[in-house]
Structure 1
Amino acid sequence: MSRVPMPFYAGDVSALAQALRRGLREAETVPGHVEMLNLLVKSVGYRNFQHFKAEFDARRTMEPPETQTAEVDAKRVKRVVRLFDEQARLTRWPKKYSERLLCLWVLWSRIAPRRDYNEAEIGALLEQHHLFADHALLRRELADHHMVERTSDGSRYRRMETPPPAEAVEVFRHLR
């Protein structure tokens, strides 16, 4: 059975080093393989390695395989585009999950890559791009769908660099 590589991302290498140092100092002996994995993933906000692996497996099953060409549902794209006004601001939060996800991708596209935001900055950015006055909902949804990474205390946010699905790209094209 071949191993599937699990990418590991630490938003702050200094915090990672501090957490590892603290964990090694508290260990009575040199940590074993699994203990070391637990130290690593705990430093970026997971409970343990099993939690990290479960999240990875769940994300992988939700993403279409790279070899498969993704079909675009033109009706869904049209419905989602209608959720935005002339300035491409989201007018309301849709009821359907598939439409919500596409709206989140639009908001994701407006977050600058490789830039850290504090909670107020990400809130202000999201406020500019929607009209229903619930930036906290949007911020939470972006984090829950792993489109942004946030520290465990919620003080820092950073866009996760993941290729958007074909339908989201089609929505971007219509909103330009």
Structure 2
Amino acid sequence: MSRISLPYQAPDVSALARLLKREIHAREDKPGHVELLNILARAAGYRNFQHLKASDAARERLEAPQPEPEAVDFRRVEDAARCFDADGMLMRWPARTVIQQLCLWRLWARVPTDRDLSEREVNDILKAAHAFGDHVLLRREMFNRKLLDRTADCRVYRRIEQRPPPEALALIRGARAPGA
């Protein structure tokens, strides 16, 4: 067993001493070092040494500083939101690539999860979500940008599950820019 530095704290030193004495005297032979670790862990209220280690690891994970959430560029969200009408229908295909990507994320959110879809089903979803008459462009772009996957014969499509970037999440949720 490699050396591990773990903090050890017993709520009651007197109870710890009594338990150690009782466990050591109950044995006919001297306990090995792993058995001693388990005795010490039980004396501190854990089931065994592995439980003590797991508890300490969980405590460290919870106490670790959380990464700062990525900032949302509400200007981009606002630009992408202008491409949609009040009902969430994509009215026009934006010229800027970064705005196109955000619009595709909003369409991606409409595709059912964990389900194989035929090309016709994907087309129907996209036709119902846009008003400029080019569902093929949308389907192709969603595939090219790794939002949809398809079989080699293009008969079966599937949404690729992933976490959208912060701007896309804001657009999907319908967020507006501060003050807008």
Task: State the TM-score, normalized to the length of structure 1.
Answer: 0.60
CA distance in 1, matches of 2:174, 2:90: 14
Helix, strand or coil: the match of 1:123? helix
Question: Equivalences for 1:28-67 in 2 at 5 Å?
Answer: none
Amino acid at match of 2:162: T
Instruction: Give the CA deviation at 1:79.
Output: 1.1
Instruction: Give the CA deviation at 1:68.
Output: 6.4
Is the Cα–Cα contact under 8 Å of residues 88 and 129 in structure 1 kept in the other structure? yes
Amino acid at match of 2:140: R
Judged with a 3 Å threshold, the aligned counterparts in structure 2 of structure 1 residues 68 and 147 are, in CA distance, closer, same or farther, namely farther
Amino acid at match of 1:131: A
Amino acid at match of 1:124: D
Question: Equivalences for 1:96-175 in 2 at 5 Å?
Answer: 96-174=96-174
CA distance in 2, matches of 1:138, 1:103: 10
CA distance in 2, matches of 1:90, 1:109: 13
Task: State the TM-score, normalized to the length of structure 2.
Answer: 0.59
Judged with a 3 Å threshold, the aligned counterparts in structure 2 of structure 1 residues 120 and 175 are, in CA distance, closer, same or farther, namely farther
CA distance in 2, matches of 1:154, 1:69: 37
Partner of 2:24: none
Instruction: Give the CA deviation at 1:71.
Output: 1.8
What is the root-mean-square deviation in Å for CA atoms of aligned residues? 1.9
Instruction: Give the CA deviation at 1:70.
Output: 2.0
CA distance in 2, matches of 1:108, 1:172: 9
Partner of 1:82: 82
Amino acid at match of 1:141: E
Query: Percent identity among equivalent residues?
Result: 41
CA distance in 2, matches of 1:90, 1:122: 16
- Stretches of structure 2 lacking an aligned partner (at least 5 in a row): 1-66
Helix, strand or coil: the match of 1:70? coil
Judged with a 3 Å threshold, the aligned counterparts in structure 2 of structure 1 residues 131 and 113 are, in CA distance, closer, same or farther, namely same
CA distance in 2, matches of 1:69, 1:112: 27
CA distance in 1, matches of 2:142, 2:104: 6
Instruction: Give the CA deviation at 1:87.
Output: 1.1
Instruction: Give the CA deviation at 1:175.
Output: 6.6
Is the Cα–Cα contact under 8 Å of residues 71 and 166 in structure 1 kept in the other structure? yes
Is the Cα–Cα contact under 8 Å of residues 147 and 159 in structure 1 kept in the other structure? yes
CA distance in 2, matches of 1:103, 1:88: 10
Is the Cα–Cα contact under 8 Å of residues 116 and 157 in structure 1 kept in the other structure? yes
Is the Cα–Cα contact under 8 Å of residues 83 and 90 in structure 1 kept in the other structure? yes
Runs of 4+ that moved beyond 3 A: none
Q: Which has the higher mean CA deviation after the structures are superposed, 67-76 or 84-93? A: 67-76
